[in-house]
Structure 1
Amino acid sequence: MEFSLILKKINNTLSAEKELIFNDWYSQSETHRQYFKGVLEQFENNRITVDNKKGWERIDQEIRKKNSTKSYWKYAVAAAIVIAVFSLPFTFKNTPSDLPPTTTLEQQATIEIGSDKATLTLEDGSSVVLQKGEHYEAGHIKSNGEQLLYDSTKTTPNVDIAYNILTIPRGGQFFISLSDGTNVWLNSDSKLRYPVAFAENQTRMVELVYGEAYFEVSPSTKHNGSHFTVTTLNQEIDVIGTEFNIKAYKEDPIISTTLVEGKVVVKSSQTFKKLIPGQQSKLDSKTNSIEISKVDVSNEVSWKNGFFSFKNKQLEEIILVLSRWYDVDFKVQNTEAVKIPFNGVFNKKQEIENILKIIENTNEVKFEIKGKTILVE
């Protein structure tokens, strides 16, 4: 789904043909409907003219009225959302000279935008590099370089289960359709271990070794009532048939599970919790305790749809996300600046320099690029 169609829908400028395309996409799943709702809310809450020069003048006037860090962030954030959302599908009327001056950001063409790529480790221990533009096929599996598909008709006797591993590097992402029809989107720096074919009449079990993944699980009704289970280091999720997101990075002591649709039970060695759609569980890996809260689902799963959606996120969390997608390292020299909360929506297919400049325009932090290391000053 092209993001420009969503914007045209919001502005009521879709042609009859495009309206049919949008309606088909919108009706496909609750995930699509929630995503559209999130974009609509961002748009309505931060509506500023696309004329960048006038928009910045308005923001500057508001800042002068309330000269505080809090109000500065409020209006700088609004500007960030406008620039991030409109910079790709539309062309601004103004020239670069109309933009407000920014701090110096060293330009170097060494940082690449993340792309579809992964390493597939087969049951015999051999490895295959998968990347966009390259095809791979071997018996029950095939890939076009953007997704990996397993034969959905294949099952295996209980004693003959073989496992594959899909590893996504920093700067990568990948989609996989398992043999039972379950779809999985894997974010940067993630690893999934799964059966080549699931055993008949047994729990379908996969392991998210680390990283972040969005699961669209084939329901148990299609598999003789067989449940689907996802394990991580300290957590197990019992699934009946649903869509959910798991974030379990190696460096993060918290494992977050966000339920989009259906039913899941989150288990640790200490307790278990049931989730309903719109809720998120947070498992503390040190204490094995689980806390449940209501969250903005579209914000939590935006990465799957091609966007960074930061809602009241501290800068230190934002640069961690950026480091994985652009495969860069951030070196923090200003420890106070990285604690400041930030709101913004950014397309993942833009240069990191664009995002850093928008953040710099708050005048709260500066960035300097040195190769693949970015200094936070």
Structure 2
Amino acid sequence: MNFDLTADQLDLKLAVRDLARRFTDEYWSDCDESKEFPWDFYRAFADAGWLGIAIPEEYGGGGLGVLEASLLLEEIAASGAGMNGCSTMHLTIFGLNTIVKHGSEELRQEVLPRAVDGSLHVCFGVTEPNAGTDTTRISTFARRDGDGYRINGRKVWITKAGQSQKMVLIARTVERSPERPTDGMSLFLIDIECDEVQLRAIPKLGRNAVQSYEVFIDDLWVPESARIGVEGQGFRYLLDGLNPERILLAHEALGIGRAALDKAVRYAKDRTVFDRPIGQNQGIAFPLAEAVTRLDAAELMARNAASRYDAGQPCGRVANMAKWLCGEAGFFAADRALQTLGGMGYAKEYHVERYFRESRLLRIAPISQEMVLNYVSEHVLGLPKSY
């Protein structure tokens, strides 16, 4: 059993770290406060070829695995970019997996090369106001109309919709059956820069450089070629992406926790009260020691999950546990960092409050910690399903 990264993986981490740290904490605070998409950062990573790290080589990508993609996002988060940085490219890495695995060759050729070079932005439309975690309750509907479909519905919490030209959308193509609720949903790749699609940004607590949107779809016609895979199999296609998504987000949580902890440790060494550095006090030192212990332990589960996924081994158990553990460890580290800095931790100039806000997000999105525990209760412990 070898827990060491390969030489190539270590080189990847160093290269990403070097590029990401060219963008300062002040850059990210300015983007967050002004709600401006971090275009300079995005273009730098596009020009360096990182956006297509997990997209097959025949479409211009790097053809690497989820582990390498996870290391990329972890380093970005740890640089101080946090969720604002990761969210610029997370969906390119994860969301397009559905097109890679299930899309027609025509769709792959249309989308993947342009996603790799950064010229095409694609968002992912699943969540709805009245459905939430229960995707089987979505009401967005795509009805047959000639040689295509006419789509009507509403989505919410759609990341990067305002910067995207296209959306991977799940919609019902058959009315919901109580006996088989996951049947009858289909995936589509739709254009959203049109009169039939309207957007509204959602004011929110954090990660404001990459905004979230309500999306209103009114009588949008799409050709049959816009459908991804087989009609009615959309929910199954979504499930294909759940484990890699959890693994990627676990590593993002780790990165934010590392960034916060680094700030706290440096402050604890430099800040002097009562003629001694505050880090000499166990009341300060022990919580930070616990934070790094939690992060290191969670990292092992996240690395295990990524390695198993890339090896084609069952990984639902460890992917969900990694998301839970890393979400908790990242937030604990950010919370302890804020406590270490005291009032200065609440001040924007030290940036810890931004890490705190963004680390909190990873305990509720894209799936809550409670829903992860539901999975573990049912599928690991064999307890009765609770929902």
Compare the two structures and name the one with the higher strand fraction.
Answer: 1
TM-score between the two structures when normalised by the length of structure 1: 0.23
Compare the two structures and name the one with the higher helix fraction.
Answer: 2
Identify the structure with bigger relative contact order (alpha carbons < 8 Å, sequence gap 6+). Answer: 2
